Amino acid sequence: MIDILNTRLIKEDQTTRIMQYSSSMITLSNGNVLKESNKRKFCRRLLNPKTNLWAKNTDNLLFGIITEKEIKSKLSSIGGKSVQEKYGNILKQNLNTGTSWNSGTKGQNIGKRNPRTQIIKDKISLKNSGNGNGMYGVKMSKADKQIRSDIMKQKILSGEFTPNSNNRNTHWEALYNGKKYRSSWEALYQYINQDAEYESLRIQYKLNDDEKIYIVDFVDHVSRTVIEVKPRELCVGDKFNAKLQALIKWAKLNNYQTLIVDKEWLKAQNPVINYDHFDQKTATKIKILYETS
C-alpha cells in the first residue's frame, strides 16, 4: 500500500511521502501521523479515481497553502459545469417554471438508473419509520442534556475544542499564512502583531444567569494585552457588555491591559503589507480598508 500511495504522490509531483503504514495509522515524511478516520480520509482522497484534485494538492493542504473548503469548492464548480454540459436542455426548459431540473431523480445516479417509483419511495419511508429509525424512542432528559453541555463547555474552556472558525456576520473564513481567522480584520491584526496568540485565552462569564465561555480574539503575553477585534458599531448589547466586563476583570486580576481593535485603530497603523500572506478575498478587503478615507 505504501508503494501505491507514493506512486500516486510521485505522479502528481508531490514532495510528501508515506514513511510508515499500518491498518490504523500512517506516518508522513513531514512528521504528521494520521490515525483512524483521518488516515482513511487521506487514503481515500489520494486514490480517488474520479478526481486528482485531492492528490495534486496534498502538499498544499499539509502546508496550509490551500484549505479543504477551497478544494471542495473547486470540485463543486467542476460538478456544476458537468451538469450544465450534460443536462443543459432540461435546465433551460425548467428555468423559472417552478420545477427543478432534476425533479423525480432524487437519490439516483443520474444517467445510470431510472428514477425511483413512488412505490419504492414509500417502502423506503416505511422502513425508516418507527422502530426502523435509529432515533426512535430516544429522548434525552434535562440531566443528560446538561451533562453534554458541561462536557462541551469544558472542552472549549480547556482549548481542546474551538467552534467552527468562520465569522457569523460574513460566513466566510480569512486566511493568513494558511491559518484560519474569523475575519479579515483578525487576520490583519495578526499580521501587525506577530506576538499575539489567537483564541488561546478562554474566559467564563455570565449572561442572564447562564454560564458562557468567551473565546478572546488575541492575547499578547509580551505587551501583556488582551485584544478584542470588532467594529465599533457592534460593541453594544448585553452580550458584548458581559464579555467585555469579564475581559476587563481578567485583565485587572492578571495585570494586563485591554484593547478594542476597530477600523480606526487598524487604519491608524498603516503597515507595509505583503498581500501574498493572505488569501485573495482577505487581501482585497484589507486593500479596501486602507484605500477608503
pLDDT tens by residue, 219-257: 999 999 999 999 999 999 999 999 999 999 999 999 999
Pairing verdict, β 257-261 and 225-229: parallel
DSSP per-residue string spanning 73-135: HHHHHHHHHHHHHHHHHHHHHHTTSS--TTTT-TTS-BTTBPPPPHHHHHHHHHHTSGGGSTT
Q: What is the pTM of this model?
A: 0.53
Beta strands at 210-215 and 18-21: parallel, antiparallel or unpaired: unpaired
Instruction: Specify the residue for cell string 481515500.
Output: 44
Contact between 286 and 184 under an 8 Å Cβ cutoff? The reply is yes
Long-range Cβ contact pairs of 24-31 (< 8 A, separation 24 or more): 28/62, 30/62
Q: For residues 273 and 136, which has the higher predicted lDDT (pLDDT)?
A: 273
Res 84: pLDDT: 73
Angstrom distances, CA of residue 285 to CA of 93, 230, 288: 39, 15, 5
Predicted confidence at residue 156, as pLDDT, reads 79
**Rounded CA separation 151/278 (Å):** 35
Summarize pLDDT for 15-61 with one digit per residue, the tens. Answer: 889 998 888 889 988 888 888 888 999 999 899 888 888 998 888 88
Mean pLDDT on 180-206: 94
Yes or no: say if 197 and 218 are a contact pair by the CB < 8 Å rule: yes
Laid out side by side, the sheet with 18-21 consists of 18-21, 25-28, 33-35
CA 121 to chain centre: 35
Average model confidence (pLDDT) across the chain? 84
